[in-house]
């Protein structure tokens, strides 16, 4: 089996991929994500572009390996929410999402040689109505400053939501495992278990 490289430094994506019991290596790609965030792209266009760029960056260096790149973003009305980076920005994002439905798009690009497979999943999430003190308490609990949308749904962040509608819950955390495994098996003949 070809070596699999996850084009990421994300500890969340690495932990998810480990659940597939397929050997892999994680290497961070060299992509300036900020250069694409103000170009007026839709969530799907933005995340697919970045997933492809991440995978292509490493595919140049490791042409015989199977490279998996992924990206995600949260969208609400005409805003794109990336990783907040600060507690103030996280408060602002969570106040905007409070009581409302938003989209989380996760895109995945899988490349080996000249073969490229690209897909995305859209998850709709309805957040509960949250007070400022609830938001501040939540941020202290999970410190979600490195998460799109300012929440870690796999931890205490689940309490922020009324409903989640999507194909694969893992997609919210950073990598849709079921479809990724299906594509690896059908398109790249990766065996598992």
Helices H / strands E in the chain, number of each: 6, 7
Work out the angle between the directed axes of helices 11-18 and 177-188 (0-180°, nearest 10). 60
Owner of token pair 């969570």: 94
Select which of 34, 57, 71, 78 is catalytic. Answer: 71
Q: Is 168 one of the catalytic residues?
A: no
Owner of token pair 């973003």: 73
Judged on CB neighbours under 10 Å (0-12, 13-18, 19+), 125 is: buried
Enzyme catalytic residues: 71
């Amino acid at each position: 089996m070809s070596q699999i490289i996850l084009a990421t430094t994300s500890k969340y994506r690495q932990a998810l991929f480990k659940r597939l019991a397929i050997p892999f290596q994680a290497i961070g790609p060299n992509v300036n994500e900020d250069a694409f965030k103000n170009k007026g792209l839709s969530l799907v266009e933005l995340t697919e572009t970045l997933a492809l760029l991440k995978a292509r960056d490493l595919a140049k260096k490791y042409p015989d390996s199977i490279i998996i790149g992924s990206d995600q973003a949260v969208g609400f009305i005409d805003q794109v929410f990336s990783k907040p980076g600060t507690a103030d920005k996280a408060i602002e994002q969570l106040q905007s999402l409070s009581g409302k439905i938003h989209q989380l798009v996760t895109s995945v690009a899988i490349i080996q040689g000249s073969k490229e497979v690209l897909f995305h999943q859209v998850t709709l999430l309805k957040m509960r109505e949250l007070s400022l003190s609830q938001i501040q308490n939540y941020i202290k609990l999970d410190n979600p400053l490195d998460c799109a949308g300012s929440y870690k749904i796999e931890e205490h962040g689940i309490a922020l939501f009324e409903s989640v509608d999507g194909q694969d819950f893992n997609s919210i955390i950073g990598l849709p495992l079921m479809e990724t495994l299906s594509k690896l098996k059908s398109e790249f003949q990766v065996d598992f278990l």
